[in-house]
Amino acid sequence: MTWLSKLTGLSLLVMLVSCSGDHNLWDCWSGFKRIKCDKPTAEQIAQKHLNNGDFSAAIEVLTPAIADEPENYARYPLLAAAYAGRGGIDILGIARKQIGSSDSALTSFSAFLPTPNTVDAETYQQDLADVASAVATLRAVPSNILTDSEAFPYSASAILELTIYQSSYSIMFLNQFIISPTTGTITVDQLANMTPEQAEQVITNLLAVGDLPQVSGNSNMQSAVSAIATTINDQPGATTKDKIAAYVATQNK
Amino acid sequence: MARSSVAIALGMILGAQAAHAKKTVEPVYQDPFDLAAGGASLTRASKEGTLFSNPALLHLASGFIRWIGSSTTLTLNKESVNTARKFLPKSAGGSGGASSSNSSTTDSSTTNSSTEIVNDVLKNPVRVGWGEAISLLTRRVGGAFFSRFELDLGAHEYGPAGLPQIELQTESYNGFALGAPVPTPLSWLIFGVTAKYIMASEEYVSADLVDQTQVTKYSDPKMAKSLYSQNSGVGLDAAALLFFQGSSLDLTMAAKADDIGDTQLSGDSSGPKQLKQVTSAGLGLTLHTGADAIHLAADYRDIGNAYKQPLFKRIYAGTKVTLRQHLGVAAGFYQGYPSMGAEVDLFFLRLALTAYTRELGDHPGVAPRRMYMFSLSTGF
């Protein structure tokens, strides 16, 4: 083969290969196998999974990455988001709604969370466990790091995220006792299943939202969710469960 | 909903924060046909791209005047085209049932459509740009006024911090370049220099969509200054070209130093403040007859990796096929992604269409933008 025909062939080959797809030559999964590929970071891979709605895949990427480097705190908000996403939290819906103190946090939040009437009981408990994992993941970041914007560039976002997940968990925990699985309406009938300890847990969860550090953007949400606890405590009743029943009755009007 | 999203976008356009350097190893201005050939332009560049890629190439012009004219480019990404196509009004025979619907149905469909638009914008980034160059290139000297601007609006349901995030990036480069080849007694060795006056700005802003206060702060008109401001400065590039011509095969090798001694930019814009000196090398082979040619070229940019860029962003390679000097097709690998394009020369009018992918992230697949570029040039 002459130089000229080789050059012509090579030129045609470049044209054919470049027209054959849109994958990067250095891509680790679909690129050219004979060159050393360029792999995105665990955070970047996880973020891609998150935006594709594949939350379990994001958890699978981030869990070992965090185990390997527990002090890489940039991964914690993403893992929390993956748990929350798998737990059914519609984060985009919450972002759009811009839940504030003027809203009824209970109904506003519930629109973006799984409720006992939208999923079966077992799935609801799994969702609740996932949202609890989201809260636990962010609480695993040491508080001095979480609040230090110099040490942790995502500090404000992470606290805002924690506020959303803690609020979501508190309301999901309450909803399992007050929303009818068949009709989806708020009803006191469901409260028969609630133990006194669970009633106390409802208040503790709600108050935990108010105890979070204040950052830009979370104060309205904190006020709205904490107001539920205050309103419950202001209701007549001998026990916390009675007060919750009275509160639920007001929500039902 | 659409209105609030537009307000957020406008709010962000008014605000600006620290910039991420985007112009790194590439020339400040590139010809669309060069981009189609993978952006490998050190050994073969088109029109005003010559001044920015390798001024020594001016000496290889067949006539005294290589190019005089203007070029206008319009750039937009594939997702923008798809979104626009999706929401363009349907033809009268299509879904034109609105006149028979009652008002509540119309309201409902409008709301659904608005939500769909917002969902689409949140999932698909929008990147648009335009460029303009007016140039006179001769065998001895060349000059060009150039201007290009690109705007990138992206949103993620899950941003890097796990919350819905919107981000806006702008890239603006304008100025004037004056270049000249410097022939040597050796016919195969040519040097070249380009002096350039650059006005540049690169802005990057991002906000968590959940945090209304974060978005609102960007609507402060005082923050607009950075976006409208540009940094300016004077820089110098130098190049060397080794050109070995055969009867049907040419070999070209190039070495280039961009922004010698680091080009310092000053002004009110948050960035860039400096264009670092980078050294690059290129290799080209041209198989030609009298009127037709096949060019193969590869560039290795920023050999010393001054910008700390990954390898896939420093290697550019591609091929150009020109037929009868009036039709050209090109293909290559630009930042590792396939690129392709075609150019038609209608004597006083040149039309070019290029498709390429630009990676905004630091690894392949992180933030790719599949771009279409249309160019119209008038001149000869």
A11, A22, A50: residue with CB nearest B296: A11
Residues B126-150: pLDDT tens digits? 899 999 999 999 999 999 999 999 9
The one-character DSSP state at A31 is S
pLDDT score of B279: 96
pTM for the full model? Answer: 0.83
Q: What is the CATH number of the domain that holds B267?
A: 2.40.160
Mean pLDDT of A232-239: 90
Q: Give the tokens for residue B292.
A: 């037709």
Q: Give the tokens for residue A82.
A: 């993956």
Q: How far apart are CA A21 and CA B337, in angstroms?
A: 9
Amino acid at B347: F
Contact B211 A18 (CB under 8 A): no
HEC-encoded secondary structure of chain B: CHHHHHHHHHHHHHCCECCCCCCCCCCCCCCHHHHHCCCCCCCCCCCCHHHHHCHHHHHHCCCCEEEEEEEEEEEEEHHHHHHHHHHCCCCCCCCCCHHHCCHHHHHHHHHHHHHHHHHHHHHCCEEEEEEEEEEEEECCCEEEEEEEEEEEEEEECCCCCCCCEEEEEEEEEEEEEEEEEEECCCCCEEEEEEEEEEEEEEEEEEEECCCHHHHHHCCCHHHHHHHHCCEEEEEEEEEEEEEEECCCEEEEEEEEEECCCCEECECCCCCCCEECCEEEEEEEEEEECCCCEEEEEEEECCCCCCCCCCHHHCEEEEEEEEECCCEEEEEEEECCEEEEEEEEECCCEEEEEEEEEEECCCCCCCCEEEEEEEEEEEEC
pLDDT score of B121: 67
Domain range for B327: 24-93+125-211+230-362+370-379
Query: Which residues make beta-bridge pairs with B242?
Result: B189, B253
Chain A residues lying within 8 Å of B213, measured CB to CB: 216-217
Q: What is the dihedral of CA A91, A97, A100, A104, to 10 degrees?
A: -100
Of the pLDDT bands very low, low, confident and very high (cuts 50, 70, 90), residue B225 is low
CA proximity to B29, closest of B261, B199, B153: B199
Q: What is the mean pLDDT of chain B?
A: 83
Contact B319 A11 (CB under 8 A): yes
Mean pLDDT of A204-219: 84
Domain-embedded: residue B110? no
Q: Give the tokens for residue A164.
A: 């959303």
Higher pLDDT, B161 or A22: B161
Domain-embedded: residue B44? yes
Question: Would you say residue B241 has pLDDT above 50?
Answer: yes
Range with lowest mean pLDDT among A88-92, B13-17, B102-106, B300-304 = B13-17
Chain centroid to Cα B148, Å, comes to 8
Of the pLDDT bands very low, low, confident and very high (cuts 50, 70, 90), residue B310 is very high
Mean pLDDT of A99-128: 81
CA proximity to B207, closest of A124, A216, A194: A216
Mean pLDDT of B177-192: 95
Q: Give the tokens for residue A76.
A: 């914690």
Residues B313-337: pLDDT tens digits? 999 999 999 988 889 999 999 999 9
B248, B363, B364: residue with CB nearest A4: B248
Chain A residues lying within 8 Å of B363, measured CB to CB: 38-41, 44
Q: Cβ(B148)–Cβ(B170) under 8 Å?
A: no
A1 touches chain B (CB under 8 A): no
Chain centroid to Cα A133, Å, comes to 9
Portion 98-157 of B in contact with A at CB < 8 A: 118, 122-123, 156-157
Of the pLDDT bands very low, low, confident and very high (cuts 50, 70, 90), residue A100 is very low
Question: Would you say residue B307 has pLDDT above 80?
Answer: yes
pLDDT score of A196: 92
Q: What is the ipTM of this complex?
A: 0.86
Higher pLDDT, A233 or B225: A233
Q: How far apart are CA B51 and CA B256, in angstroms?
A: 12
B160, B209, B310: residue with CB nearest A38: B310
Of the pLDDT bands very low, low, confident and very high (cuts 50, 70, 90), residue A92 is confident
A11, A21, A154: residue with CB nearest B321: A11
A25, A38, A157: residue with CB nearest B161: A157
Contact B366 A11 (CB under 8 A): no
Chain A residues lying within 8 Å of B331, measured CB to CB: 14-15, 18-19
Higher pLDDT, B265 or A99: B265
Residues A18-57: pLDDT tens digits? 666 788 999 888 888 888 888 899 999 999 999 999 999 9
A10, A18, A50: residue with CB nearest B338: A18
A8, A17, A91: residue with CB nearest B164: A91
Q: Which residue of A has its CA nearest to B342?
A: A15
Residues A130-177: pLDDT tens digits? 999 999 999 999 988 888 777 788 888 899 899 999 999 999 999 999
Of the pLDDT bands very low, low, confident and very high (cuts 50, 70, 90), residue B13 is very low
B294 touches chain A (CB under 8 A): yes
Range with lowest mean pLDDT among A87-101, A178-192, B79-93 = B79-93
Query: Number of folded domains in chain B?
Result: 1
Contact B311 A26 (CB under 8 A): yes
pLDDT score of A101: 44
Contact B321 A44 (CB under 8 A): no
Q: Phi first, then psi: what are they for B191, rounded to 5°? A: -105, 170
Domain-embedded: residue B106? no
Contact A217 B312 (CB under 8 A): no
Chain A residues lying within 8 Å of B317, measured CB to CB: 14
CA proximity to B228, closest of B197, B264, B201: B201
Domain-embedded: residue B103? no
CA proximity to B69, closest of B143, B128, B6: B143
Q: Which residue of A has its CA nearest to B293?
A: A8
Mean pLDDT of B295-304: 95
pLDDT score of B347: 83
Contact A40 B364 (CB under 8 A): yes
Burial class (CB in 10 A: 0-12, 13-18, 19+), A154: buried
B54 touches chain A (CB under 8 A): no
Q: Distance, in angstroms, between A197 CA and closest chain B CA? A: 33
pLDDT score of B141: 94
A196 touches chain B (CB under 8 A): no
Residues B332-375: pLDDT tens digits? 999 999 999 999 998 889 999 999 999 999 999 898 999 999 99
Mean pLDDT of B20-26: 67
Mean pLDDT of B293-303: 94
Number of inter-chain CB pairs under 8 A, A vs B: 169
Q: Phi first, then psi: what are they for A136, rounded to 5°? A: -65, -35
Mean pLDDT of B145-174: 90
A111 touches chain B (CB under 8 A): no
Helix axes A42-51, A55-68, angle to 10 degrees: 160
Question: Would you say residue A103 has pLDDT above 60?
Answer: no
A7, A27, A217: residue with CB nearest B287: A7
A39 touches chain B (CB under 8 A): yes
CA proximity to A163, closest of A209, A96, A113, A219: A209
Residues B38-74: pLDDT tens digits? 999 999 998 889 999 999 999 988 778 888 999 999 9
Question: Would you say residue A250 has pLDDT above 50?
Answer: yes
